[in-house]
Amino acid sequence: MLKKPWLILLLVCVALLGCQQDETKSGQPKENTGTSKTQKTTEEKETYSLIGEEIEKEPAGHLFEKYIGKKEFADQEEYEKAEEEAVAEYLEEIKNKDTKDWDAKQWATSIITSLRTDVGNVIQPVRDMEVKYHELKLPDGRLVQDVSEEELNEQPDEVNIAVLIDASGSMKAEVPGGIKMALAKSSIEQFSESLPENVNISLSVFGHKGTGSDQDKKMSCESIETVYPLKAYDQKAFSAALDQFDASGWTPLASAIQKAEKELKETSGEQAKTFIYVVSDGIETCDGDPVQAAKAAKHSLTDLQMNIIGFDVDDEADRQLKEVANAGGGKYTSVNNKQELDEEVTKSWKESMGKTGWRYWFSQNSHSTNVSSVRMASELRGLQGDYLTSLNREHDRMKTALNELSDEDIMDLDTKLAISDAIDERTKTVKEYADSVRQEKHREIFDTADSIKEKMDHVTKDLDL
């Protein structure tokens, strides 16, 4: 009877001891581990670097995102209000924390990670700035910087030329060396004889019917005829074509250009180099708009150049023919005698088809490189101004927060000075890093310009520019 109470008491004691051990094993570590892990995770996230590449990847401070964000580049009054709100909330957060044992590193981490800007966001526009010399385009629309020197020197597989001769009555006039019409025919024949094998040529005449009288105007203005269709040069056939007409009537230049455009469009491949060469001694007299016709032809044909010779023209014709050539992407030259005509037709016209055709293009575009470089350098300075504004404002708001902490005796002077040095070092590091990115882009601008100039110098070295 006495053994039973003792046994019961023993079992109760063992059970109580087991429960106490289980409670100790499962409760205390769980509470301590949870608190410690949370604190450690927070501390690990709140870090900052003094290396440019790492700073660029750091996120913006939570108070910067909450109060400043897009106001970072606002006017001073709007920005200062946002900064004041961010710093005020930072002080409230600090007052609710136990910071009496914080060292300078912890303070610097707290200030920087709360108020820092998104450095990557203000540097990236510098990296993303496109260095493109859009003003320097080849006649086919490609940028010079995107085309190799070898491509620039390549001759096109197909070159098609439409020669247009003005056969208005004024071409009967005499100039030093002979009659204008006869001289024009002679020069064009010499030019045609010297064409390379890959060049096709057509010959058209306009205004060669009727007379210069009003009653013949309609007939003459409609007289535009292709006397030698586009094909390789054949001496006998081409000479016969030149013999089919003489100077006679009015000057339907616009219609002649439109007809040449249509014929070239129908017979030229997509990669063909096309030319329209015109010899004329006067203005449009058939109510057409040759400037507009030239613009339309230039737009319609993939790679067109329209070169015009004004043969013994007055000031009005000189002005109009120059406008027509410019609209057609080509060159205008005024000549007054046989020698000048021969030189322009047999030399300049032929040069325009090959490598030496770069003479005119280069003379028209050589200044574009400098203009583009200056424009992009100015754009880059604007981006530099943005990141300097951002970094200076970041520096000032961190110093503002630091001063307020000191003024409220939340930290001592030695700690303040140490943190101030850390903020200064960060700002200096980021500015130097951002400047290195900007300088790299600056070099890219002018290295690209130098590359373009060198490329063009090589292509045009024998042009006596």
What average pLDDT score do residues 17-21 get? 42
Task: Please name the amino acid found at residue 361.
Answer: W
- Using CA atoms, how far residue 192 sits from 66, 188, 189, 301, 307, in Å, is 76, 6, 5, 22, 15
Write the pLDDT tens digit of every residue in 410-461. Answer: 999 999 999 999 999 999 999 999 999 999 999 999 999 998 888 777 766 6
- Name the nearest CA neighbour of 403 among 98, 87, 78: 87
Give the confidence band of 33 by pLDDT, cuts at 50, 70, 90. very low
The pLDDT, as a whole number, for residue 365 is 64
Task: Please name the amino acid found at residue 444.
Answer: E
Residue identified by tokens 């320097």 is 136
Q: What is the DSSP letter of 249?
A: B
The pLDDT, as a whole number, for residue 174 is 94
What average pLDDT score do residues 297-310 get? 90
* Helix, strand or coil, per DSSP, at residue 219: helix
What are φ and ψ of residue 275, in 5° steps? -135, 145
Concatenating the DSSP letter of every residue in 287-320 gives S--HHHHHHHHHHHSTTEEEEEEEES--HHHHHH
The pLDDT, as a whole number, for residue 37 is 34
Is residue 124 scored above 70 in pLDDT? yes
- Name the nearest CA neighbour of 202 among 267, 287, 286: 267
The pLDDT, as a whole number, for residue 364 is 56
Is residue 299 scored above 50 in pLDDT? yes
Q: Evaluate whether 248 touches 169 at the Cβ level (below 8 Å).
A: yes
Other CB atoms within 10 Å distance of the CB of residue 70? 7
Q: Within its chain, how far is the Cα of 44 from the centroid?
A: 44
Is residue 24 scored above 50 in pLDDT? no
* Percent of the chain surpassing pLDDT 90: 68
Is residue 463 scored above 60 in pLDDT? no
Is residue 2 scored above 70 in pLDDT? no
Write the pLDDT tens digit of every residue in 93-102. Answer: 999 999 999 9
Q: Evaluate whether 140 touches 156 at the Cβ level (below 8 Å).
A: no
Write the pLDDT tens digit of every residue in 345-378. Answer: 877 776 666 544 455 456 556 677 888 899 999 9
- Name the nearest CA neighbour of 276 among 284, 286, 265: 265
Alpha-carbon gap, residue 331 to 324, rounded angstroms: 9
Alpha-carbon gap, residue 50 to 44, rounded angstroms: 16
Write the pLDDT tens digit of every residue in 217-245. Answer: 999 999 999 999 999 999 999 999 999 99
Write the pLDDT tens digit of every residue in 190-200. Answer: 889 888 777 89
Alpha-carbon gap, residue 397 to 86, rounded angstroms: 9
What average pLDDT score do residues 48-56 get? 94
- Using CA atoms, how far residue 284 sits from 213, 254, 331, 336, in Å, is 15, 7, 18, 19
Write the pLDDT tens digit of every residue in 84-122. Answer: 999 999 999 999 999 999 999 999 999 999 999 999 999
Is residue 68 scored above 60 in pLDDT? yes
**pTM, entire model:** 0.54
Other CB atoms within 10 Å distance of the CB of residue 234? 13
Alpha-carbon gap, residue 391 to 72, rounded angstroms: 10
108 CB-near residues (< 8 Å, 6+ apart): 48, 418, 419, 422, 423
The pLDDT, as a whole number, for residue 139 is 56
